[in-house]
């Protein structure tokens, strides 16, 4: 019989790799309710729809993807702040779903969250001292006054804030300083895992680097493991050991940060990366740009098959709109087994055997088509790559 480790998908960290967090088949579906008197469920928002990932102790896993693809919901599901509809979350070997009451509360201490907007996540009526002491008291970590005072000082030093900050209130700080308070609050209960949801996206660019550096420093000093959610690819590259790219509730690509940025393979990742400007003007002029047209489809009505098929420039007539691709290791020379991609045709795309569809926009005035019978209505050009590929007979 296959052991649990042997049955893991190839390329995914095995239990022997000192995995702190393992997420398997996690789904979070939010019911859509209608009706004033009867609360009828008329559909679901498939916010997270089958995510597998594992994070090793001491590692930073970066999660990227467009707004609305389910990053925050996944983060919340991991901490059981949002009950998953299906799947399992194992933290430090313990099935989080099996925890209730006091046990769950104790485990939660080890999994903390840092939010995007520190101002709205910090109670404005509480001083910094009270904000930091709250969690420590709740978890019995501030038993005597002297130890608590010492711990508060240590925390402020760790996040680079002066000791006099303790008596101040959140509104008296700048955005970057407030995020430092948010980080100190997460650290105050001595966590193992920090889920940081867009920790720097509300901050000025100059301050972003300071907070990112602080997170890295704290990781070294306190042996922390991070799941960092961000939409800024540069931030994710800088901070992450491994990166997962999410699209409409699922991972479409996962790899070591350097591997992913050196060779993005999934059409969606390639499109995301191609939108990032390169400082070198020569490379900037020559590099591939993939136009990602159309909005993210609604997670309440996700496309069939590969969820990216409505926007994919490499979409093929078979499988793409019928079979959902699994996240799998790829057979491409030079690509390590830890690089996984959810695309049926990734090998053919990488080798050039399949080319991206070219879209030649044809500006045809529909009124002209009606008045001139020699012009066929089908000549009207597509307005987007998505439209073109869905109409393309191949």
Which residues bind to Mg ion, rule: CB under 5 A?
A: 72
Helices (H), 79-204: 101-109, 118-121, 128-138, 145-159, 175-187
Q: C-alpha dihedral over 189, 194, 197, 199, to 10 degrees?
A: 80
Among 62, 191, 299, 302, binds ligand ATP (CB under 6 A): 299
- Residue 61's binding partner out of ligand ATP, Mg ion, ligand SF4, none, with CB under 5 to 8 Å set by partner kind: none
- Residue 44's binding partner out of ligand SF4, Mg ion, ligand ATP, none, with CB under 5 to 8 Å set by partner kind: none
Q: Is 71 in the site for ligand ATP (CB under 6 A)?
A: yes
Shortest separation between residue 66's beta carbon and Mg ion, angstroms: 10
Q: Which of 171, 174, 44, 196 is nearest to 120 (CA)?
A: 171
Q: Is 70 in the site for ligand ATP (CB under 6 A)?
A: yes
249 phi-psi bin (left φ>0, alpha ψ -120 to 50, beta other): left
Which part of the chain contacts ligand ATP (CB under 6 A), choosing from 68-76, 94-102, 213-221, 256-264? 68-76
Shortest separation between residue 70's beta carbon and ligand ATP, angstroms: 4
DSSP readout, 302-344? PPSSSTTTTT-TT--SSSTTTSPPP-EE---TT--TT-EE--T
Among 69, 78, 183, 327, binds ligand ATP (CB under 6 A): 69
Structure tokens at 105: 């509360």
Q: Is 311 in the site for ligand ATP (CB under 6 A)?
A: no
Shortest separation between residue 30's beta carbon and ligand SF4, angstroms: 25
- Residue 343's binding partner out of ligand SF4, Mg ion, ligand ATP, none, with CB under 5 to 8 Å set by partner kind: ligand SF4
Contact assessment for residue 28 and residue 80, using Cβ atoms and an 8 Å cutoff: no
Closer CB to ligand SF4, 312 or 359, in the complex: 312
- Residue 67's binding partner out of ligand SF4, Mg ion, ligand ATP, none, with CB under 5 to 8 Å set by partner kind: ligand ATP
- Residue 47's binding partner out of ligand ATP, ligand SF4, Mg ion, none, with CB under 5 to 8 Å set by partner kind: ligand ATP
- Residue 68's binding partner out of Mg ion, ligand ATP, ligand SF4, none, with CB under 5 to 8 Å set by partner kind: ligand ATP
For tokens 């729809």, the residue is: 49
Contacts by residues 136-141 (CB-CB < 8 Å, ≥ 24 positions apart):
136/188, 136/189, 138/105, 138/189, 139/106, 139/109, 139/189, 141/188, 141/189, 141/190
Which part of the chain contacts ligand ATP (CB under 6 A), choosing from 19-27, 67-75, 270-278, 329-337? 67-75
Rg (CA), the chain: 24
Q: Which residues of this chain interact with ligand SF4, rule CB under 6 A?
A: 267, 306, 308-309, 312, 314-316, 320, 325, 343-345
Start-to-end CA distance of the chain, whole Å, equals 45
- Residue 312's binding partner out of Mg ion, ligand SF4, ligand ATP, none, with CB under 5 to 8 Å set by partner kind: ligand SF4
With H, G, I as helix, E, B as strand and everything else as coil, classify residue 377. helix
Q: Is 272 in the site for ligand ATP (CB under 6 A)?
A: no
92 phi-psi bin (left φ>0, alpha ψ -120 to 50, beta other): left
With H, G, I as helix, E, B as strand and everything else as coil, classify residue 105. helix
Shortest separation between residue 71's beta carbon and ligand ATP, angstroms: 4
With H, G, I as helix, E, B as strand and everything else as coil, classify residue 157. helix
Closer CB to Mg ion, 182 or 305, in the complex: 182
Closer CB to ligand SF4, 48 or 343, in the complex: 343
Helix axes 145-159, 175-187, angle to 10 degrees: 130
Shortest separation between residue 258's beta carbon and ligand ATP, angstroms: 24
Shortest separation between residue 120's beta carbon and Mg ion, angstroms: 13
Q: Is 273 in the site for ligand ATP (CB under 6 A)?
A: no
Q: By the criterion CB under 6 A, which residues form the site for ligand ATP?
A: 30, 45, 47, 65, 67-73, 231, 299
């Amino acid at each position: 019989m296959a052991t649990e480790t042997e049955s893991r998908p190839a390329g995914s960290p095995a239990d022997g790799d000192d995995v702190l967090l393992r997420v398997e088949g996690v789904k979070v579906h939010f019911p859509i309710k209608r009706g004033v008197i009867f609360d009828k469920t008329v559909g679901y928002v498939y916010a997270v729809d089958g995510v597998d990932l594992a994070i090793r102790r001491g590692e930073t896993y970066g999660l990227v993807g467009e707004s609305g693809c389910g990053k925050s919901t996944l983060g919340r599901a991991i901490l059981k702040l949002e009950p998953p509809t299906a799947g399992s979350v194992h933290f430090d070997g313990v099935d989080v779903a099996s925890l209730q009451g006091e046990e769950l509360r104790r485990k939660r201490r080890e999994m903390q969250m840092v939010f995007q907007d520190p101002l709205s996540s910090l109670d404005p009526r509480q001083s910094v001292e009270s904000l930091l002491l709250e969690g420590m008291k709740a978890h019995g970590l501030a038993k005597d006054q002297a130890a608590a005072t010492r711990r508060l000082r240590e925390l402020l030093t760790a996040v680079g804030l002066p000791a006099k900050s303790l008596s101040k209130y959140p509104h008296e700080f700048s955005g970057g300083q407030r995020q430092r308070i948010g980080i100190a609050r997460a650290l105050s209960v001595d966590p193992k895992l920090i889920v940081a949801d867009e920790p720097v996206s509300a901050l000025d660019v100059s301050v972003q680097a300071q907070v990112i550096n602080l997170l890295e420093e704290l990781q070294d000093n306190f042996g922390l493991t991070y799941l960092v959610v961000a939409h800024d690819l540069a931030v994710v590259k800088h901070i992450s050991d491994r990166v997962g790219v999410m699209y409409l509730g699922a991972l479409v690509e996962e790899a070591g940060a350097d591997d992913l940025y050196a060779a993005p393979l999934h059409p969606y990742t390639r499109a995301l990366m191609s939108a990032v400007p390169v400082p070198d003007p020569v490379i900037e002029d020559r590099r591939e740009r993939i136009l990602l047209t159309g909005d993210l489809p609604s997670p309440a009505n996700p496309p069939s098959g590969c969820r990216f098929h409505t926007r994919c420039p490499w979409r093929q007539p078979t499988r793409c709109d019928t079979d959902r691709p699994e996240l799998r290791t790829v057979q491409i020379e030079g690509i390590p087994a830890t690089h996984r991609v959810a695309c049926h045709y990734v090998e053919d795309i990488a080798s050039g055997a399949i080319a991206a569809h070219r879209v030649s926009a044809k500006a045809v005035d529909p009124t002209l088509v009606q008045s001139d019978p020699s012009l066929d209505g089908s000549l009207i050009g597509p307005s987007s790559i998505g439209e073109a590929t869905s109409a393309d007979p191949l």
